[in-house]
């Protein structure tokens, strides 16, 4: 799935930005999502419209694409919101982005295995969910650390961005759940 490959590239860039990559890294996330991912989704939708049948159920492909797009939209929104709020990613953001990248890589592996080895595709979906469940713990630690901060504006900005990371994790789990559903339907 081309969109899955682009999602991996976008999340590698998001991880680089989360590790302090700055404005250039932020722009590369936006470019990847706005130009690569959206185009790949449109291509998939056009192909689904033209196809009489597909090896994977069309509804499953559509929903996997839609949910993958949500991951990318949330990542792009996190970058844009951080820019507007003048919030530089910190060590908590870097930790969470690593787990998100691992989850997206598991999803891509699952997409690639869906037809060849559905059981392994399901295990990759499980691994994706497990990877991003670590975001919850990192999110709580990040939020707890904000209690000691004196800069109210900085605290509010950090809370908002940390929530974005959490929403990306939820979106990864949503894709993993649908990947499992596609595995079960194909069985």
Residue 36's pLDDT is 75
Sketch out the chain's domains with CATH numbers: 2-186 (1.20.58.220)
C-beta of residue 88 within 8 angstroms of C-beta of residue 20: yes
Q: Residue 94: its pLDDT value, please?
A: 97
Q: Which of 185, 168, 61, 41 is nearest to 122 (CA)?
A: 185
pLDDT the model gives residue 31: 86
Residues sharing a CB contact under 8 Å with residue 77, sequence separation 6 or more, in sequence order? 164
pTM: 0.90
Instruction: Please say whether the beta carbons of 74 and 171 come within 8 A.
Output: yes
Q: Which residues of the chain have pLDDT under 70?
A: 37-38, 41-45, 47-54, 187
- Nearest Cα neighbor of 68 from 41, 93, 101 is 41
């Amino acid at each position: 799935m081309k969109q899955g490959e682009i999602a991996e590239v976008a999340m590698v860039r998001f991880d680089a930005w989360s590790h302090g990559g700055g404005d250039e890294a932020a722009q590369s996330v936006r470019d990847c999502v706005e130009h690569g991912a959206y185009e790949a989704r449109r291509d998939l939708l056009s192909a689904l419209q033209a196809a009489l049948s597909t090896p994977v159920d069309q509804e499953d492909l559509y929903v996997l694409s839609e949910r993958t797009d949500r991951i990318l939209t949330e990542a792009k929104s996190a970058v844009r919101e951080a820019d507007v709020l003048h919030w530089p990613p910190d060590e908590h953001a870097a930790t969470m982005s690593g787990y998100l990248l691992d989850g997206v890589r598991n999803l891509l592996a699952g997409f690639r295995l869906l037809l060849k080895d559905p059981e392994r595709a399901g295990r990759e979906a499980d691994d994706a969910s497990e990877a991003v469940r670590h975001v919850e713990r990192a999110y709580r630690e990040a939020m707890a650390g904000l209690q000691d901060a004196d800069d109210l504006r900085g605290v509010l900005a950090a809370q908002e961005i940390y929530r974005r990371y959490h929403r990306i994790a939820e979106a990864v789990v949503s894709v993993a759940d649908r990947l499992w559903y596609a595995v079960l339907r194909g069985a």
